[in-house]
């Protein structure tokens, strides 16, 4: 009897040990991610990004290319409006292209190293590794991490949930959340190809602009059409709209909104015209993801284009985070 009991206990111990071997700890997964990142020569990924803006949602198709160590091509296309923007990084610098308007901007920036990027695989890994208090769980198919983000305005989007496929640690779903854990940005990945190969001119600015324009239904029309003036919905205590001025310009009009108070600022809006082919315009500041579009932020201003309109906010009283918050709120409903 004693011998049988000993055999039974030994068998149970073996079963428990085998079960333990089959489940990976958080440290195990993080170690594997670090190893995968070190071996990665590049990748091509397709994704769908959904942005929740109040009661509305915008959906973008995103194509991401990365060639180690510093070449990037991120093509964001609105699924409904045939609008697209592209972020390129090559040996000349960082560029933001708006093909429909034949516009290109050049930044001296360390993007994407300076912030979280929900659609970049290596950025997700860095977020996981950097957050020593990250929460970890598993499901049948996924490893799930909840981490802090590194956004410049991370008071609005402080958390993210990252799901990785167990079979190859590829990204599956990322949800970027507000302080109440509501998902405001959701990225669903598909067609992940690691260690992808690229053509010689895959990251060339002029080639990418030309290719993108060939797929447009038509180039955008001139700026003589009226546009709807938009007003920021972000609440700044003691700040109110005191003036709205319309200025006629060569190809349409410019609208200047003046806000007064402790957090005073000026918002300029202007219909965009299609530009003749020119060299990229150099832009001071850092690239910032505003959700619906890519912008440029400095210590005292933020500028961006969306739906054929150029926007610029200037202020000596707003912090960078406040500039970003106000800019993001301009994409909401056009109400005062």
Contact between 310 and 269 (Cβ < 8 Å): yes
Q: How many CA atoms lie within 13 A of 91 on its CB side?
A: 3
Contact between 147 and 160 (Cβ < 8 Å): yes
Question: Which is more confident, 312 or 335?
Answer: 312
Q: What predicted TM-score, i.e. pTM, was given to this entire model?
A: 0.83
Q: Examine the pLDDT at 336 and tell me if it is beyond 90.
A: no
pLDDT digits (tens, 9 = 90+) for 198-235: 999 999 999 999 988 887 665 444 444 567 899 999 88
Question: Which is more confident, 60 or 16?
Answer: 60
Q: Examine the pLDDT at 153 and tell me if it is beyond 70.
A: no
pLDDT digits (tens, 9 = 90+) for 119-150: 999 999 999 999 999 999 999 999 999 999 98
- The strands making up 71-78's β-sheet, listed across from edge to edge, are 135-138, 142-148, 159-165, 171-177, 183-194, 42-53, 56-67, 71-78, 84-90, 93-98, 103-107, 281-283
Tell me the C-alpha to C-alpha distance, in Å, between residue 41 and each of 38, 66, 68, 91, 196. 8, 8, 5, 17, 8
Q: Which of 213, 317, 323, 177 is nearest to 261 (CA)?
A: 317
Residue 214: strand pairing partners: none
Give the Cα separation of 165 and 146 in Å (integer): 15
Across the range 7-17, mean pLDDT stands at 53
Q: How many CA atoms lie within 13 A of 1 on its CB side?
A: 0
Q: What is the pLDDT of residue 261?
A: 94
- Residue 114 pLDDT level (bands cut at 50, 70, 90): confident
Please provide residue 280's backbone torsions phi and psi, each rounded to the nearest 5 degrees: -60, 145
Q: How many residues does the chain have?
A: 336
Q: Examine the pLDDT at 16 and tell me if it is beyond 70.
A: no
Instruction: Give percent of the chain with pLDDT exceeding 90.
Output: 57
Tokens of 288: 């910032």
Question: Which is more confident, 147 or 21?
Answer: 147
pLDDT digits (tens, 9 = 90+) for 233-260: 988 999 999 999 998 887 778 999 999 9
Tell me the C-alpha to C-alpha distance, in Å, between residue 18 and each of 78, 141, 224, 294, 307. 48, 19, 72, 50, 57
Q: Examine the pLDDT at 108 and tell me if it is beyond 70.
A: yes
Across the range 26-34, mean pLDDT stands at 94
Across the chain, mean pLDDT equals: 86
Tokens of 289: 């993801």
Q: Examine the pLDDT at 90 and tell me if it is beyond 90.
A: yes
Q: What is the pLDDT of residue 175?
A: 97
Q: What is the pLDDT of residue 143?
A: 97
Strands (E) located in the chain: 42-53, 56-67, 71-78, 84-90, 93-98, 103-107, 135-138, 142-148, 159-165, 171-177, 183-194, 240-249, 252-260, 265-271, 281-283, 286-289, 294-297, 301-306, 309-314
- Residue 10 pLDDT level (bands cut at 50, 70, 90): low
Q: What is the pLDDT of residue 222?
A: 44
pLDDT digits (tens, 9 = 90+) for 265-283: 999 999 877 766 667 888 8
Across the range 17-43, mean pLDDT stands at 82
- Annotate 46-97 with DSSP letters as a single string: EEEEEEEETTEEEEEEEEEEEETTTEEEEEEEETTT--EEEEEEETTEEEEE
Q: Which of 97, 36, 40 is nearest to 279 (CA)?
A: 97
Q: Examine the pLDDT at 9 and tell me if it is beyond 80.
A: no
Q: What is the pLDDT of residue 218?
A: 55
Give the Cα separation of 284 and 164 in Å (integer): 36
């Amino acid at each position: 009897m004693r011998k049988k009991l000993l055999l039974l206990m030994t068998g149970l111990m073996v079963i428990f040990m085998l079960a333990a071997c089959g489940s990976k700890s958080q440290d195990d997964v993080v170690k594997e991610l670090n190893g995968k990142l070190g071996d990665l020569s590049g990748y091509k990924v397709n994704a769908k990004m959904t942005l929740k803006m109040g009661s509305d949602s915008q959906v973008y198709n995103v194509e991401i290319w990365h060639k180690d160590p510093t070449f990037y091509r991120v093509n964001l296309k609105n699924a409904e409006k045939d609008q697209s923007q592209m972020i390129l990084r090559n040996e000349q610098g960082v560029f933001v292209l708006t093909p429909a308007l034949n516009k290109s901007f050049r930044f001296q920036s360390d993007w994407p190293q300076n912030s979280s990027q929900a659609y970049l695989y290596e950025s997700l890994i860095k977020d996981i590794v950097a957050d020593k208090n990250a929460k970890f769980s598993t499901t049948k198919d996924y490893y799930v991490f909840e981490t802090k983000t590194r956004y410049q305005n991370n008071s609005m989007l402080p958390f993210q949930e990252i799901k990785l496929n167990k079979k190859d640690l590829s990204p599956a779903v990322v949800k970027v959340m507000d302080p109440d854990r509501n998902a405001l940005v959701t990225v669903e990945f598909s067609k992940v190809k690691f260690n992808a190969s690229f053509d010689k001119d895959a990251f060339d600015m002029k080639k990418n602009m030309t290719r993108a324009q060939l797929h447009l239904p038509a180039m955008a029309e001139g700026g003589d059409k009226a546009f709807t003036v938009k007003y920021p919905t972000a609440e700044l205590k003691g700040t109110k709209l005191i003036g709205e001025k319309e200025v006629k310009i060569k190809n349409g009009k410019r609208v200047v909104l003046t806000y007064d108070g402790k957090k005073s600022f000026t918002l300029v809006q202007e219909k965009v015209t299609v530009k003749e082919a020119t060299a990229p315009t150099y832009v001071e500041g850092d690239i910032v993801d505003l959700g619906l579009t890519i912008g440029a932020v400095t210590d005292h201003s933020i500028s961006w284009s969306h739906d054929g309109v150029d926007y610029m906010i200037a202020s000596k009283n707003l912090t960078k985070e406040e500039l970003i918050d106000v800019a993001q709120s301009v994409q909401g409903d056009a109400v005062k």
